[in-house]
A and B are shown apart, each in its own frame.
Chain A
Amino acid sequence: MRRGLILTLPKYDDVTEYLSAFSIIIEKISKEKGIFCKLLKGESANKEEFEKVINNLDCKMVVFNGHGSENTIAGNGGNILIKLGENEDLLKNRIVYARSCEAASNLGEKCVNNSEGCFIGYNLPFEFYFDPEWVGNPIKDNTARLFLESSNLAPISIIKGNNSNEAHERSKNQMLKNIRYLLSFLK
């Protein structure tokens, strides 16, 4: 398996526009660290392209952005990239971060059974607040930043050499710090 990263960046609604905009830093840091990064942007984030890329490049790490469910992870236009019982083996032995609703609750667990890989994701729907004023330029939205930068820390920490457990804890820790920061305004 190759040292590298596949990053999906679907862009077809407000939510995926935000997820993709805030993911560009993941590509930037992987480049700084000399780690190969293949982007699947917009319409390229489809099942056919994803399967081709993962089979050909065989990257160790995969970062998904997009909608999901207990058994699926989607790409552009809701196109299903990974479906339990169909192609979850593609993720076996890899390091996976899925910023997709509920994908960790069943799909993620099945992906890491009898595997040397890991799956970091969410058991519940992924939620964040955003300011519609910035929909045309999500990266400037300081409200969404509080949610999306802390979730970014999971893949970024792994890229920087931390193990998956440390990466998960760093991401949670940053979210708690953000909550504490917001609560400080109530004093």
Chain B
Amino acid sequence: MENKKDSKNIEINKRMKELVIARIDAQVPSNLRLAIGSYGGMSKEEMIEHVKKGDEIGSQIVKRHMLFLRSLASGEFTRALASAE
């Protein structure tokens, strides 16, 4: 569904950051932590901080959200979900 080439092709802009921050704020439970790569676990607030800063982790987070939203918009995600047996 997602690949590295797609991820590299995403140019992050201000609106994307705002959208991702809103998604994290609305969807991520405060008690959970995200383990991503070698960065260890980070809280919802730390995720938002990384996205705001636009550092490497923040950029990874934005790209993952955008890849997901694209697959949702194209119907790819829904098809995959419906095909799961």
Contact = CB atoms under 8 A, between A and B. Distances in A.
Judged by DSSP, the binding face of B is: mixed
B35 A127 contact: yes
A130 B32 contact: yes
Contacts of A123: 2-4
Nearest to A141: B32
| Interface size of A as a range | 20 to 34
B2 A132 contact: no
A101 B34 contact: no
Interface in A104-149: 105, 123-133, 143
Contact of A13 (B34, B40, B80): B40
Contacts of B2: 123-124
Contacts of A129: 28, 32-35
Interface in B27-65: 28, 31-38, 40-41, 60, 64
B53 to A, nearest CB: 18
A180 B85 CA distance: 11
A179 B32 CA distance: 17
A177 B81 CA distance: 7
A78 interface: yes
Nearest to A132: B33
Contacts of B41: 14-15, 130, 132
Given A15-B38, A129-B32, 14 more contacts: A14-B35, A14-B41, A67-B38, A70-B4, A101-B38, A105-B3, A123-B3, A123-B4, A127-B37, A130-B35, A131-B32, A132-B41, A133-B31, A183-B81
25 contacts: A14-B33, A14-B41, A15-B38, A15-B41, A67-B37, A101-B37, A102-B4, A105-B4, A123-B4, A124-B3, A124-B4, A127-B34, A127-B64, A129-B28, A129-B32, A129-B34, A129-B35, A130-B32, A131-B32, A132-B32, A132-B41, A173-B85, A176-B83, A176-B84, A177-B84
